[in-house]
């Protein structure tokens, strides 16, 4: 069984210091505590002969176990030669393009298709949808 160094109580108890510091969890994953008190999960890795850092998310929104799972998923991408940040951006772009079928987009297309309505009715419908 794989042994990790960090437990949830340690992550919760970590306090800000004069400088940023990190609490290592293992396999390149660490919890970085900023001097302002913010906590973020970061994964250090090497790809294309360069050291890279991938920020997984902020603690406590991303728990210790969720950070480990995300780091494992990132490591599998790295093993395939894919940068995790580039992959994350591609997924976000695909999700953004899927919102083209949102209610607002479809509603405005419907209004455009019904330009034959009276000006007053068109204004009322547009106002209602905009709200």
Give the pLDDT confidence score for residue 16 in this predicted structure: 94
Bigger pLDDT: 113 vs 44: 44
Which has more confidence, 29 or 105?
Answer: 29
In angstroms, rounded to a whole number, what is the distance separating the alpha carbons of residues 15 and 17? Answer: 7
Residue range 15-57, pLDDT digits in tens: 999 999 999 999 999 999 999 999 999 999 998 899 999 999 9
- Asked if residue 105 has pLDDT above 90, the reply is no
Collect contacts of 88-94 with beta carbons under 8 A, ≥24 apart: none
Q: What average pLDDT score do residues 71-82 get? A: 94
Those residues with Cβ within 8 angstroms of residue 44's Cβ, 6 or more apart along the chain or in another chain = 28, 30, 51, 52, 53
Can you tell me which residue has the tokens 């913010």? Answer: 38
Q: Is the pLDDT of residue 1 over 70?
A: no
Predicted confidence (pLDDT) at residue 100 exceeds the cutoff of 70: no
pLDDT, mean of residues 77-105? 83
Q: Is the dihedral of CA 89, 95, 98, 104 positive or negative?
A: negative
Going by the DSSP 8-state scheme, the letter that residue 57 receives in this structure is: E
Provide φ and ψ at 83, rounded to 5°: -75, 130
The pTM score is: 0.69
Q: Angle at CA 53, nearest 5°, toward 30 and 3?
A: 30
pLDDT at 6 over 60: yes
The CA angle 16-61-32, to the nearest 5 degrees, is: 35
Q: Crossing angle for the helix pair 119-130 and 103-113, nearest 10 degrees?
A: 180
């Amino acid at each position: 069984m794989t042994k990790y160094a960090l437990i949830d109580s340690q992550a919760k108890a970590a306090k800000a210091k004069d400088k940023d510091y990190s609490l290592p969890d293992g396999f390149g994953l660490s919890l970085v505590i900023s001097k302002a008190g913010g906590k973020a999960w970061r994964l250090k890795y090497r790809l294309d002969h360069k050291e890279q850092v991938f920020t997984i998310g902020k603690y406590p929104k991303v728990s210790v176990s969720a950070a480990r799972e995300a780091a494992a998923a990132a490591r599998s991408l790295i093993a395939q030669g894919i940068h995790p940040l580039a992959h994350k951006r591609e997924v976000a772009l695909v999700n953004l393009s899927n919102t083209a079928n949102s209610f607002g987009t479809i509603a405005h297309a419907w209004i455009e298709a019904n330009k034959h309505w009276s000006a007053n009715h068109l204004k009322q419908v547009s106002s209602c949808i905009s709200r």
